[in-house]
Every structure is written in structure tokens, then in C-alpha cells.
């Protein structure tokens, strides 16, 4: 199950009309996926302390969230600061900026959170401005993540920090009642990553590469944490309604994208026959779980992925 957290940003090469990135940039998708993600996080309250400590949030800071999308992470950072820092979200999609402003007004954070239209490769902020410059699920969608990190470093004060939150290569899907489909799922996922890299020049699992990219961008004193996101429908910390809503959302998105995404998997080395087998198997499994609450709550299938949080300091 994808927890991909996406943000709209221009890239140097023209985005394909049916690109997986372009599809994920849509305001409707961003809002709904973030809502479901935040419900999931409520079952893991300790993560707030991890983020607050790692980001080094203190009163009075100037924070820039690059590729902010509709501003979910921007507002999250504002809440971590208890509303005592100034947070600016920058994104290249005017629709996302408009949605971010509206959502921020609705939750009463307009005094501390603002938005600005801008490109990740040319951020419209002065040199040495921010105490903290961050991004979440941005670099995975770029064909030149190093350029974006250098730009983030440019707008950060000497002694300030650049932080990226991105998914890594760890991906687990295991259904003990269907080991064959579990193996096929792994094959499809790896092939899709290879295909995206081949067709669009993007590293969708860039987490492990972040320290090297940060170092090449001139940042020092790197530190990192990994958040393991584990999904288990039987987990009593999550309500049945939340689990079902999440499954419905991702099933709808999967059906919408599955034929469009076939090209990535095939380009990554898997046959059309195996892609069709996986697509029909996934749809059948999820529809079956949604049709039977008891079966869903007893389903032993586990899926997990890893989010890397990496920080680097700009030399003083």
C-alpha cells in the first residue's frame, strides 16, 4: 500500500501526460491521501515527538517547506512549533497553493503559515533566509534532486538545517495465505521502480541516497532516522471505518492507474501476463476484504515501507 506523500513541482523535462508523478499532484488526491495518512498517524502518537526533536523546532524560527503541495506537512510543522514559528510553503502548482491557503484558513493557522508560488529548482527566497528548509516526498519526483537540495541549502542560513523526508527501498507485502501472490507483488514493485527510473529518470525510493546527495550539496553533520510504516488490518488501534476508507481510496486509485502504470512495470522487465495477473489479483483481494468486515479484521496480510528523515547542516 502506498503512503506516498507527493508535492507538485516542475522538472526540467516535460512531465508525461499520464506520469505517475503528475497523477499524484492532483489537489483532490493530495487532500484525501493526507487525510487518511493523518488518521493513520493518530494511532502512533510518539511520532510527533520524533519529528519535533529531529527537526529541532524552536520558537521564532523561519521555516520553508519546499514542494508543499496543499500544505499538509507545512501545517504539521506549524503545529509542532505550537504556532510560534513562521512557516512558508512553496509549490509550483497554483491549484495546490490555493487549496493550501483555504485549508490553512479553515484550521486557524493563517497567522503562522503562508504560501508562495515557486519552483524547487529556483526557490523565490533570498540567500541565507531560513533556519530550517525541509521537504517531504519531493525529491522522488525530480530528475535532478541534487539541484533542488543545493537550492534548499542556498536559502538556508549558515548553521541552519536542510531536512528531507523520503521513502526508501524497504517494501514488504506478505500474505501468509497467498505466498505466490506475495512473491508476485515483490516482483511488480521492483520492476515498477526500475521502469520509473528508466522512463522518467526518477528514483522513487531515494531515501538511502539522501546522505550522499546532501554531502555533494555541501551540507555537513548529517543525521538520519527511519520511520517504519506498518499496515495490518487487524490492528485494533485503527478503527474498522478508517481501514475500509483507506482501502477504498487506494483501490480506486489503483484501478485508475493500473493500465497507465503497466508501461513502467514492463519497462522494468516484467511480462504483460504477470502484470495482468497481479492487477486482477490485487483488485480481487481488496474487493473481497471490503465485502466482509470479519474477514478484513482477521486478515493477516502485512505491508510496510520505510520513510527516511535525513538532515544536514549548512556550514557556518
Check if the beta carbon of residue 279 is closer than 8 Å to that of residue 207.
no
Measured CA to CA, the distance from residue 10 to residue 218 in angstroms comes to: 23
Least confident range from 47-51, 99-103, 213-217: namely 47-51
The model's pTM is: 0.89
Measured CA to CA, the distance from residue 62 to residue 76 in angstroms comes to: 15
Measured CA to CA, the distance from residue 225 to residue 245 in angstroms comes to: 29
Q: Which pLDDT does position 199 carry in this prediction?
A: 95
Joined together, the cell numbers standing for residue 21 give: 508523478
User: Residue ranges per domain, the chain?
Assistant: 20-313
Q: 124 or 84: which carries more pLDDT confidence? A: 124
Rounded mean pLDDT of 200-224?
97
Q: Which pLDDT does position 10 carry in this prediction?
A: 40
pLDDT per position as a tens digit, 8-24: 444 344 455 667 777 66
Q: Which pLDDT does position 12 carry in this prediction?
A: 40
- In the chain, the percentage of residues whose pLDDT exceeds 70 is 93
- Beta-bridged to residue 232, according to DSSP, are 302
Cα of first residue to Cα of last residue in the chain, in angstroms, is 41
User: How far are the Cα atoms of 29, 129, 192 from residue 114, in angstroms, in the given order?
Assistant: 21, 15, 36
Name the architecture of domain 20-313.
Answer: 3-Layer(aba) Sandwich (3.40)
pLDDT per position as a tens digit, 137-193: 999 999 999 999 999 999 999 999 999 999 998 888 999 999 999 999 999 999 999
Look at residue 139 and give its three-state secondary structure: helix
Helices (runs of H) and strands (runs of E) counted in the chain: 11, 7
Q: What is the DSSP letter of 206?
A: -
- pLDDT tops 80 at residue 5: no
Amino acid at each position: 500500500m502506498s503512503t506516498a506523500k507527493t508535492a507538485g513541482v516542475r522538472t526540467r523535462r516535460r512531465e508525461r501526460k499520464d506520469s505517475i508523478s503528475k497523477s499524484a499532484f492532483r489537489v483532490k488526491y493530495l487532500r484525501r491521501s493526507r487525510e487518511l495518512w493523518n488518521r493513520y498517524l493518530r494511532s502512533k502518537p510518539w511520532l510527533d515527538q520524533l519529528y519535533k526533536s529531529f527537526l529541532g523546532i524552536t520558537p521564532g524560527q523561519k521555516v520553508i517547506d519546499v514542494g508543499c503541495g496543499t500544505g499538509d506537512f507545512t501545517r504539521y510543522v506549524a503545529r509542532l512549533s505550537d504556532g510560534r514559528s513562521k512557516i512558508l510553503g512553496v509549490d509550483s502548482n497554483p491549484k495546490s497553493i490555493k487549496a493550501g491557503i483555504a485549508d490553512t484558513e479553515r484550521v486557524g493557522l493563517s497567522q503562522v503559515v503562508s504560501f508562495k508560488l515557486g519552483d524547487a529548482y529556483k526557490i523565490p527566497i533570498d540567500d541565507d533566509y531560513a533556519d530550517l528548509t525541509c521537504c517531504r516526498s519531493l525529491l522522488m519526483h525530480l530528475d535532478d534532486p541534487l539541484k533542488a537540495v543545493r537550492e534548499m541549502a542556498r536559502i538556508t542560513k549558515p548553521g541552519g538545517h536542510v531536512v528531507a523526508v523520503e521513502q526508501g527501498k524497504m517494501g514488504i507485502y506478505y500474505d501468509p495465505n497467498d505466498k505466490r501472490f506475495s512473491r508476485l507483488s515483490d516482483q511488480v514493485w521492483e520492476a515498477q521502480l526500475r521502469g520509473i527510473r528508466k522512463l522518467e529518470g526518477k528514483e522513487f525510493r531515494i531515501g538511502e541516497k539522501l546522505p550522499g546527495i546532501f554531502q555533494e550539496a555541501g551540507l555537513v553533520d548529517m543525521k538520519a532516522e527511519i520511520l517504519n510504516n506498518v499496515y495490518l488490518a487487524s490492528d485494533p488501534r485503527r478503527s474498522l471505518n478508517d481501514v475500509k476508507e483507506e482501502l477504498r481510496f487506494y483501490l480506486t486509485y489503483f484501478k485508475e492507474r493500473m493500465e497507465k502504470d503497466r508501461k513502467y512495470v514492463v519497462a522494468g522487465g516484467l511480462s504483460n501476463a504477470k502484470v495482468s495477473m497481479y492487477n486482477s489479483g490485487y483488485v480481487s483481494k481488496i474487493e473481497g476484504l471490503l465485502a466482509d468486515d470479519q474477514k478484513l479484521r482477521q486478515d493477516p496480510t502485512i505491508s510496510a515501507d520505510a520513510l527516511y528523515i535525513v538532515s544536514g547542516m549548512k556550514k557556518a
